[in-house]
């Protein structure tokens, strides 16, 4: 019966042939691949589940957000940022750049299509990608479509879904609890005791923004973390690291960065923030953990405007009990607990990704799988890493596309000659 139902559903779906690769995701990574494919003359289709490009940036980021790295390290292939943009563009400026990028290359994603499953069909040598399309119908289900394609580019990225940790007693807390993806500004938290769970870049910036709106943030620091100044000696710390890595081993560069950090920020362990045993670049390479680039939160911690506490043992009504047995008053909780890949929820029958939804082979070798499968935006090296992979993917597909096009033209020409002779 199950097989019969699936057979009937197949005929209810709209079936579409994709003349070129199918790109899943219209964030920066998906746009970058599409633009590079355009340069190679390869047609494509982009599917995006939301109603806009770069939905993470447009719908799930706080108002004060700026790029953490200088713009030259964040621009996409083939089109740089406008000259009049500042070194660290704001959220809105970056969104404007991405929208102009999509217009410039006429990328035209298909919005409102959520990929339900993607599986390689070895019988026909093609990918079958099933999607839910648009609004729900009167019967309560969305219309479905199935795309058939030779190449599938996974561009859903590292930050597809929010991570919501299980925390004892949270259902009894009684106050407002949100993920940082739903946080816009501290205006609604004036005069409130706010517990920020997480001390990554988002947690630090949310706590800083709360200070600027006269709230009273307490930041939970459960794990060790590297905090580096965003700028050192008048230059971007990231830019310094990139320059040094051209001449020095990674571990040596790490020692230089930590020395510069100590000179600029002081001993952060006195503030309750423990550094990992591995250096910041080594940790990024081996575990994908991004160092925090400080833009002012540490000075607020030093002044006591942001309190730092260890992990939460459990929540009580209007309070939180910490692992050191202290109990603190809490009005609201903001979970700055990050995001995760959602690849395993829809991509079937492939081993390119590990259990965490990242390519098994580390950068720079994780961009290509088998049977025409590609991954972009999973390098854990930000926009620059995604751009490098986008260029490689487009070149790889472009070579095959041009050869197949040449062969097809040759066959057609031979057929025409035979026809004319007859």
> Which domains does the chain possess?
2-160+341-416 (3.50.50.60), 164-338 (3.50.50.60)
pLDDT at 5 over 50: no
For 401, residues 6+ apart whose C-beta sits below 8 A from its C-beta are 20, 40, 41, 42
Burial class (CB in 10 A: 0-12, 13-18, 19+), 237: buried
**What φ, ψ does residue 335 adopt, rounded to 5°?**
-90, 95
Q: What is the mean pLDDT of residues 332-360?
A: 88
Q: What is the pLDDT of residues 372-386, one digit of tens each?
A: 999 999 887 889 989
Instruction: Show the tokens assigned to 332.
Output: 């609201």
DSSP 3-state of 344: helix
The pLDDT, as a whole number, for residue 403 is 87
DSSP 360-411: SSPTTS-SB-STTEEE-S-SSSHHHHHHHHHHHHHHHHHHHHHHHHHHHHHH
How confident is the model over 79-105, as pLDDT tens digits?
999 999 999 999 999 999 999 999 999
Helix (H) or strand (E) holding 177: strand 176-179
- pLDDT per position as a tens digit, 390-413: 999 999 999 999 888 776 554 554
pLDDT of 412 reads 53
More confident residue, 61 or 2: 61
Q: Residue 138 has what pLDDT?
A: 41
Model confidence pLDDT, tens digit, residues 193-245: 999 999 999 999 999 999 999 999 999 998 899 999 999 888 999 999 989 99
Pairing of strands 110-111, 113-121: unpaired
pLDDT band at 1 (very low <50, low <70, confident <90, very high): very low
Structure confidence at residue 119 as a pLDDT band (50, 70, 90): very high
pLDDT, one tens digit per residue, over 257-316 is: 999 999 999 999 999 999 999 999 999 888 878 899 999 999 999 999 999 999 999 999
Residue 49, pLDDT above cutoff 50: yes
| pLDDT bracket for residue 4 (50, 70, 90) | very low
Strands 142-149 and 126-136: antiparallel
Q: In the Cβ-directed half-sphere of 273, how many Cα atoms lie within 13 Å?
A: 24
Q: What is the residue-averaged pLDDT of the chain?
A: 89
For the beta carbon of residue 314, count every other beta carbon within 10 angstroms: 16
Tell whether the model's pLDDT for residue 18 goes beyond 80.
yes
Question: What is the model's pTM?
Answer: 0.88
Please calculate the CA angle 248-249-252 and round it to the nearest 5 degrees.
Answer: 85
Residue 346 confidence class, pLDDT cut points 50, 70, 90: very high
Q: 11 pLDDT exceeds 60?
A: no
Looking at residues 167-174, what average pLDDT do you find? Answer: 93
Structure-token match 């026909």, residue found: 124
pLDDT-derived band at 366, boundaries 50, 70, 90: confident
pLDDT at position 30 is 98
């Amino acid at each position: 019966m199950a097989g019969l139902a699936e057979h009937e559903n197949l005929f209810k779906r709209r079936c579409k042939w994709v003349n070129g690769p199918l790109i899943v995701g219209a964030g920066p990574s998906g746009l970058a691949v599409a633009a590079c494919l355009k340069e190679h003359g390869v047609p494509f289709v982009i599917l995006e589940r939301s109603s806009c490009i770069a939905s993470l940036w447009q719908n799930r980021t706080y108002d004060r957000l700026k790029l953490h790295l200088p713009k030259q390290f964040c621009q996409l292939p083939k089109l740089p940022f406008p000259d009049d943009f500042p070194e660290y563009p704001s959220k809105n400026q970056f969104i404007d750049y991405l929208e102009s990028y999509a217009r410039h290359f006429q990328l035209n994603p298909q919005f409102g299509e959520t990929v339900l499953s993607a599986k390689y069909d070895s019988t026909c040598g093609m990918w079958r990608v099933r999607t839910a399309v648009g609004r729900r119908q009167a019967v309560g289900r969305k219309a479905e479509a199935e795309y058939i394609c030779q190449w599938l580019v996974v561009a859903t990225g590292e930050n597809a879904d929010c991570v919501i940790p299980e925390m004892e007693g949270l259902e009894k807390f009684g106050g407002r609890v949100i993920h940082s993806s739903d946080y816009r500004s501290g205006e609604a938290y004036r005069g409130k005791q706010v517990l920020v769970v997480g001390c990554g870049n988002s947690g630090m910036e949310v706590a800083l923004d709360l200070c600027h709106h006269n709230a009273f943030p307490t930041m939970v620091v459960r794990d060790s973390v590297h905090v580096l100044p965003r700028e050192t000696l008048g230059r971007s710390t990231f830019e310094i690291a990139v320059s040094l890595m051209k001449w020095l081993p990674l571990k040596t560069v790490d020692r230089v960065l930590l020395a510069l950090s100590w000179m600029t920020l002081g001993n952060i362990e006195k503030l309750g923030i423990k550094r990992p045993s591995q250096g910041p670049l080594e940790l990024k390479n081996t575990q994908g953990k991004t160092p925090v680039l400080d833009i002012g939160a540490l000075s607020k911690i030093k002044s006591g405007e942001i309190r730092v506490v260890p992990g939460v043992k459990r929540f009580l009504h209007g309070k939180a009990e910490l692992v050191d047995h202290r109990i603190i008053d809490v009005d609201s909780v903001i979970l700055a607990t990050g995001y995760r890949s959602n690849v395993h929820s829809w991509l079937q029958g492939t081993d390119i990704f590990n259990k965490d939804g990242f390519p098994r082979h580390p950068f720079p070798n994780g961009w290509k799988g088998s049977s025409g499968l590609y991954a972009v935006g999973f390098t854990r090296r930000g926009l620059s890493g995604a751009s490098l992979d986008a260029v490689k993917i487009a070149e790889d597909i472009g070579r095959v596309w041009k050869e197949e096009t040449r062969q097809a033209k040759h066959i057609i020409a031979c057929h025409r000659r035979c026809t004319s002779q007859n």
